[in-house]
Amino acid sequence: MPKPLRVLLVEDSPDDAELVELELISGGFAPDIVRVETVAEMRRCLDRGGWDVVLSDYHLPAFGAEEALDMVLASGQDLPFIILSGMVRAEEAVKLMKRGAADFLDKAALARLVPAIEREIRDAVDRAQRREAQEQVRIMSMAVEQSPVAVMITDTKGIITYVNPCFCANTGYERHEVLGRTPNIVKGGDTPVEEYRQLWQTISSGNVWRGMFHNQRKDGSFYWDEASVSPVRDLSGKVSHFVGITLDMTERQLRDQELHKAVRHLTEANTELERFAYVASHDLQEPLRTLTSFTQLLDRRFHGDMDSEAKEYMAFIVDAAKRMHELINDLLAYSRVTGEGRGFARVALADVCAQALRNLKCSIDEAGALIMLGDLPDVVGDEVQLMQLFQNLIGNAIKFRRAGATPEIVVSAQHKAGEWLVSVRDNGIGILTTEQDIFEIFRRLHTHAEYPGTGVGLAVCKCIVQHHLGRIWVESKPGDGSTFFFTLPDTP
Ligand code: ADP
């Protein structure tokens, strides 16, 4: 099978060109020859590219081998350039070979042509492979040099033969200060001796070691490195070097420590706050009871002696005491949900919702509310808290009803993105959702005179939902009803 060969032939004689073609064919090639005679033709062909070899006559009327060779060199293509000529002096031949011509053949002895082309093509392939390998090495070493992780290479005795700029930046050492030394130069002292022993054992048996190093910079400061050390083998398979790659973890460790500290702080503060809320609300009940009972006593004993103004003041006191009682009770309820809560178990939401409706029976009957229940799933949670959640949301839906309209409340659930999405929709007064965070404790959008309440209910709901690893939010428009959504994980 003849080998294809694309030849750019610089030649003015068609006869000579034919002789070259015959020689190539008999040498086992299927040559595709383009003959050029001028600089312009030569340039066009070089621009097109794709040549395997350039064969060039020495003297042409408009052109010469020297100029053609310069054009090939200037094109940057690694093309074997072989001169074919009958009348060249030795010094001219040497001059052109020095400039880069691959060979010089006598037209009268073309038998050398095929072996010369084969040799040159082989050499060109070798050169291309070498160039590619060099390029690979260049890219690799650039990657290592610019890498944001520190790289250190040692020989098998642990003598440092290379460190990258990141290593120098991390440690504060210049490259020349560490080459020829051992990694002990950055040893911090807090890495257990056993760790180093294991490291050597692992890498000398040809395996990769991963772990943490406590290191020391040139300025004496300490840091933690997450490290991976691997053996590198030579062509015979023998371990010749070790490569250590390290990532400075100090910042992350500090961040983790800070985070842990902050979480501990917050937990302590939260526990303290819960304890305070509980104790305060519990202890406040006692003086309040005294206040209420003595006011009642006062009213009973002196009711007849009181004029209308005194009776009005008395009513204010009773009212304030009642309101304070509500506040304290709600605060107590809140502090209970923010606390530990009871154990989680499988809970049928349909059952807890039905219980909430039983608790709300009076208000439902009084408002003539219509409640529609969709299918509710079983979840894992705290039964009492989930009942409280439904009771608060449905209770609000009844309380914030529109005057003159029958309250219609729809409770439903759907499975969405691996969790349950439960909604409580009403046709009540609605809210401007952008106004304020109504899930914040004591946040109310209405006065107590308009709608009774303490502003604790939704804060309790939020705590319950968060305790169950869910989210709660509201979608609403003033005058157009509200829908409260909450999610609960679908735990098997
Ligand atoms: P409370 O009901 O005791 O006022 P909540 O924390 O339950 O406290 O609610 C906070 C505020 O959010 C309410 O005062 C009211 O302004 C608004 N709100 C809650 N639920 C609804 C609802 N279904 N429709 C309209 N407004 C609501």
In order, the DSSP letters of 125-188 are HHHHHHHHHHHHHHHHHHHHHH-SSEEEEEETT--EEEE-HHHHHHH---HHHHTTS-GGGGB-
Q: How far is the CA of 281 from the centre of ligand 1 (A)?
A: 22
CA dihedral 150, 255, 253, 164 (to 10 degrees): 10
* pLDDT score recorded for residue 342: 59
pTM of the complete model: 0.51
- Take atom 18 of ligand 1 and give the residue whose Cα is closest: 396
Distance of CA 388 from the midpoint of ligand 1 (Å): 15
Q: State percent of the chain over pLDDT 90.
A: 55
Q: Please report the pLDDT score of residue 288 as a whole number.
A: 86
Kindly report, as residue ranges, where domains of CATH 3.40.50.2300 are found in the chain. 3-141
Q: From the CA of 481, give the closest atom in ligand 1.
A: 24
- Residue 244 is predicted with a pLDDT of 93
For the chain, report the end-to-end CA distance as a whole number of angstroms.
70
The stretches in the chain having pLDDT less than 70 are 88, 338-342, 435, 492
pLDDT attached to residue 42: 95
Read off the pLDDT of residues 437-451 as tens digits, 9 standing for 90 and up: 889 888 888 777 788
DSSP string, 387-434: HHHHHHHHHHHHHTPPTTS--EEEEEEEEETTEEEEEEE--S----TT
Pairing relation of β-strands 408-416 and 370-373?
Answer: parallel
237 backbone dihedrals φ, ψ, rounded to 5°: 95, 0
Name residue 334's amino acid.
Y
Identify the residue whose C-alpha is closest to ligand 1 atom 14. Answer: 444
Pocket test for ligand 1, best of 391, 447, 458, 472 (most atoms within 8 A of CB): 458
Superfamily of domain 147-248: PAS domain (3.30.450.20)
The torsion angle over the Cα atoms of residues 430, 433, 434 and 439, rounded to 10 degrees, is 130
Ranges for all domains in the chain classified under CATH 3.30.450.20: 147-248
Residues whose beta carbon lies within 6 Å of some atom of ligand 1: 392, 396-397, 400, 426, 428-431, 438, 443-446, 453-459, 482
How far does residue 345's CA lie from ligand 1's centre (Å)? Answer: 29
* pLDDT value of residue 401: 95
Domain with CATH 1.10.287.130 in the chain: 254-336
**With pLDDT > 70 as the criterion, what percentage of the chain qualifies?**
98
Class of domain 254-336: mainly alpha
Rounded to the nearest 5°, which phi and psi values hold at 113?
-60, -50
- DSSP class per residue in 283-342: HHHHHHHHHHHHHHHHHHHHGGG--HHHHHHHHHHHHHHHHHHHHHHHHHHHHHHHS---
Ligand 1, pocket-test mutation among 371, 427, 438, most atoms within 8 A of CB: 438
Residue range(s) occupied by CATH 3.30.565.10 in the chain: 340-489
Q: Which fold has domain 340-489?
A: Heat Shock Protein 90 (3.30.565)
Architecture of domain 3-141: 3-Layer(aba) Sandwich (3.40)
**Which of ligand 1's atoms lies nearest the C-alpha of 460?**
6
Distance 457 CA to ligand 1 centre (A): 8
pLDDT tens across 110-156, in order?
889 999 999 999 998 899 899 999 999 999 989 999 998 999 999 99
Residue 437 carries which side chain, given as an amino acid letter?
D
Give me the pLDDT at residue 338, please. 64
User: What was the pLDDT predicted at 435?
Assistant: 67
